[in-house]
């Protein structure tokens, strides 16, 4: 649809602990203009929501359209949250965010309907509608990062669950007596297969005197974060410590994936997150055989695709736009 006074668009937005990204999206899924700024989460909900509104307005200007042409805003945010009430109950990455009516507050500032959802759910929806799983109806998203986020799309629709808590894949227990997870329980997938778990185990290896090129890459400083790019570089160079620990995480992700296959039997499983972006399909190659091996139904098992995400930073933004259009259609 050509730009003009009759054209209508939605804005997709991805708000996290460090950045806010918004983009104007047309009916074909094309981003016409986008804008990004720092979240400044320490400033509290009111200031962050002001920054979110300004980011939307700046994206609209960059797209060369006006707010009168925006039908709705879809927003991905960290949870737990209630998408129906538009409330963020609590999120550890945003200090002071307890029972915050995000949708209503953004609507007051922008003058258009606002719909919120979990950011990983929307990333999965984006990949299903416009990315690596385009055309599939039953899709699971697995996003290893600081934790392990998940999303579930069935019959082409995002599934939220009875208590809006579906697809908390990172907290499926796959090692009953395993390490403690950030949630306080033991053996969650996050505790053995997230980037945080990989970094923890690499640091433990270095502290025990094992040699690794990663030590020079992070300058040996305890507080220095091991980036996904550094992990990918060390893994691709065959560094023994990094290869061992990432391989163990891949095995555990394979077990997690097989459990998901046995429960959902999806058409496509999409893996995203920083480490997947840094390593691409190389990260998934050891995961697939484990996932297939432990799946009950072996018939045509390799027809079930396990693929890397394609949309990168725009996955949640585009998923938010798809979600906003769907919510508008159901109003």
* 3-state SS string for 59-121: HHHHHCCCHHHEEEEEEEECCCEECCCCEEEECCCCCCCEEECHHHHHHHHHCCCEEEEEHHH
HSE-up (13 A, CA, CB side) for residue 21: 19
pLDDT on residue 225 = 79
Residue 94's pLDDT is 85
Using one digit for the tens of pLDDT, what is the confidence trace for 292-316?
999 999 999 999 999 999 999 999 9
The helix/strand/coil state of 259 is helix
Distance between CA atoms of 194 and 80, rounded to whole angstroms?
A: 19
Report the pLDDT value the prediction gives residue 221, as an integer from 0 to 100: 53
Residue 54 and residue 116 in contact, taking contact as beta carbons nearer than 8 Å: no
Per the listing, tokens 């047309």 go with 26
Q: Is 305 exposed, middle or buried (0-12, 13-18, 19+ CB in 10 A)?
A: middle
d(CA 320, CA 31): 12
Contacts of 160 (CB under 8 A, 6+ apart): 83, 117, 121, 166
Q: Which stretches of the chain score pLDDT less than 50? A: 1-4, 220
Contacts (Cβ under 8 Å, ≥6 apart) of 90: 80, 97, 98, 99
Name all domains of the chain by residue range, CATH numbers in brackets: 9-124+314-330 (3.30.420.40), 134-309 (3.30.420.40)
Question: How much is the pLDDT for 2?
Answer: 45
d(CA 98, CA 57): 26
Q: What pLDDT was estimated at residue 91?
A: 83
Burial (CB count <10 Å: 0-12, 13-18, 19+), residue 208: exposed
- How far is Cα 307 from Cα 318, in angstroms, rounded to an integer? 19
Q: pTM value?
A: 0.91
Partner residues linked to 100 by β-bridges: 88
């Amino acid at each position: 649809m050509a730009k003009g006074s009759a054209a209508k668009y939605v804005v997709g937005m991805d708000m996290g602990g460090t950045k806010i990204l918004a983009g104007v999206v047309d009916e074909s899924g094309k981003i016409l203009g986008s804008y990004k700024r720092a979240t400044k989460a320490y400033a509290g909900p009111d200031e962050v929501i002001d920054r979110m509104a300004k980011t939307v307005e700046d994206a609209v200007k960059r797209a060369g359209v006006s707010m009168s042409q925006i039908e709705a805003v879809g927003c991905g945010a960290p949870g737990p949250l209630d998408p129906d009430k538009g409330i963020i109950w609590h999120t550890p990455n945003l200090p002071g965010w307890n029972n915050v009516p995000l949708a209503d507050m953004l609507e007051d500032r922008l003058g258009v309907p606002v719909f919120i959802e979990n950011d990983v759910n929307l990333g999965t929806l984006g990949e299903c509608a416009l990315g690596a799983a385009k055309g599939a109806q039953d899709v699971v998203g697995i996003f290893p990062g600081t934790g392990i986020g998940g999303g579930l799309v069935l019959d082409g629709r995002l599934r939220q669950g009875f208590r809006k808590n579906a697809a908390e894949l990172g907290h499926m227990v796959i090692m009953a007596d395993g390490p403690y997870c950030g949630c306080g329980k033991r053996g969650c997938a996050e505790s053995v297969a997230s980037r945080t778990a990989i970094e923890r185990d690499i640091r433990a290896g270095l502290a025990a005197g094992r040699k690794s090129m990663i030590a020079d890459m992070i300058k040996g400083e305890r507080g220095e974060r091991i980036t996904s790019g550094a992990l990918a570089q060390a893994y691709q160079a065959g560094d023994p410590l990094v290869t061992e620990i990432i391989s163990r995480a891949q095995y555990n992700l394979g077990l997690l994936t097989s459990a998901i296959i046995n429960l959902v039997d999806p058409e496509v499983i999409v893996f995203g997150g920083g480490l997947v972006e840094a390593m691409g399909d190389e990260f998934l190659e050891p995961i697939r055989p484990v996932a297939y091996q432990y799946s009950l139904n072996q018939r045509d098992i390799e027809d079930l695709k396990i693929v890397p995400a394609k949309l990168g930073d725009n996955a949640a933004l585009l998923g938010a736009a798809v979600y906003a259009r769907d919510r508008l259609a159901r109003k």
